[in-house]
Amino acid sequence: MQGTLSKLGLRHPLIVAPMAGGPSSPALVAASSAAGALGSIGAAYSSPPAIVEFAQAVRARTDCPFAINLFIQHPQPKIDAAALERARRATAGYRVELGLPTPEFAAPYEEDFDAQFEAVLRAKPAALSFVFGVLPAEHMRAARDAGMLIIGTATTPEEALALEESGVDAITLQGYEAGGHRGIFDPSAEDSEIGLEDLLAWSLGKVKVPLIAAGGIMTGSDIQAVLAKGASAVQMGTAFLKTAEAGTSAPYRAALEGTERKTRTTRAFSGRFARGVENRFMNEVDAAAVMPFPAQNKFTRDIRAASTAKGSPDFLSLWSGTGKGELWQGSASDLIARLFPA
């Protein structure tokens, strides 16, 4: 592993992606790290005490380094009554179907970033990774003083340059193939839709910090191919969704059955683009009735939770990348051993 990433002392150039909202369990993070990769806590939706507790649960299982991942926050969107009414009308039928009351809905729409960041400083992971922007300068300084390796995420050449300029140690290049939220800085921007290969080829000549390739990487040969093209490491999410340790729910696991998964990006669940397996909610909710992130994310939380409780994939965010093939259902350490045969 090249450059600053070697400080982590990983046996394999692999980051098991942070997967906020369930899949990243303490068991998955710890098993990934213990197997020589960098496990990542997806802490974006977690309260500060939950972040500290999660890190303790990982440390109870392994001494190996791990990362904590946050979402950079932007000014909270102003939601007017008409936008809320459109969103309520578009989802009213689902709430009836799921037996849910009309929700009370008010700001704040997400956890406070500064408080989450303080919790990360207390938890002291080996690495801090983030999406959706550049880490503010005072947080960069604090994370560096705490000895953390700092990893930003770019979906375009411009974002990669801005991250390098901000002083990050490494950059995850997230291709359009990737499962989960697109790391696009501007929450209201259209998606550049740049694939991993083009993003990597462009960045190699111009960005000096180590590059971590993400999006659609599923097998050992996929890994070797991007390393040969100049990536210092890979980040994989989808391939780990059905491992024994992942916190992926039963209906979510069932929706990932088979070798083909029809995915696309949508704003319907959270207000930000994210890639997942097509389902009813994604196909039926009118884009005009979707509020901006993170308001929409908070607004649909009860629907997603009730869908999981009912065992139905219809209203769940089934985040998944474009990668094909049956997903591994054994342990994460066995998957990592298969990805990096001795």
Ligand X SMILES: Cc1cc2nc3c(=O)[nH]c(=O)nc-3n(C[C@H](O)[C@H](O)[C@H](O)COP(=O)(O)O)c2cc1C
CB closer to ligand X, 42 vs 251: 42
Residues that bind ligand X in the complex, under the rule CB under 6 A: 17-20, 23, 42, 44, 69, 131, 153, 174, 177-181, 214-217, 235-239, 319-321, 323
Residue closer to ligand X by CB (options 20, 79) is 20
Q: Which two tokens stand for residue 157?
A: 């050449």
Q: Decide: 49 and 119 in contact? Cβ < 8 Å.
A: yes
State the nearest-atom distance from the C-beta of 153 to ligand X, in Å: 6
Residue 52 or 213 having the CB closest to ligand X: 213
Tell the smallest beta-carbon distance from residue 307 to ligand X (Å).
15
Shortest CB 160 distance to ligand X, Å: 14
Our CB check for ligand X shows the closer of 128 and 290 to be 128
Smaller CB separation from ligand X, 22 or 292: 22
Least separation in angstroms between residue 288's CB and ligand X is 26
Q: How far is the CB of 245 from ligand X (least distance, A)?
A: 14
Length of the chain: 342
3-state secondary structure of 14: strand
Residue closest to 125 by CA, chosen among 24, 34, 213, 39: 39
Nearer to ligand X, 87 or 275 (CB): 275
Q: Structure tokens of 165?
A: 């300029």
Paired tokens of 135: 């880490």
- Backbone φ and ψ for 50, nearest 5 degrees, come out as -65, -30
Please tell me the distance from the alpha carbon of residue 98 to that of residue 15, in angstroms, as a whole number. 37
Return d(Cα 99, Cα 19) in angstroms, integer.
Answer: 28
Taking CB atoms within 8 Å and a gap of at least 24, the contacts of 301-304 are 302/95, 302/100, 302/103, 303/91, 303/94, 303/95, 303/98, 303/100, 304/269
Of 30 and 79, nearer to ligand X (C-beta) is 30
Runs of H (alpha helix) within the chain? 26-34, 48-59, 81-98, 113-123, 137-145, 157-166, 196-206, 220-228, 250-255, 280-284, 295-299, 301-309, 332-339
Query: Minimum Å distance from CB 24 to ligand X?
Result: 7
Which pair of tokens denotes residue 3? 């450059």
Of 152 and 292, the one with the shorter C-beta distance to ligand X is 152
Q: How far is the CB of 18 from ligand X (least distance, A)?
A: 4
Backbone angles phi, psi at 244, to 5 degrees: -60, -35
Q: How far is the CB of 111 from ligand X (least distance, A)?
A: 13
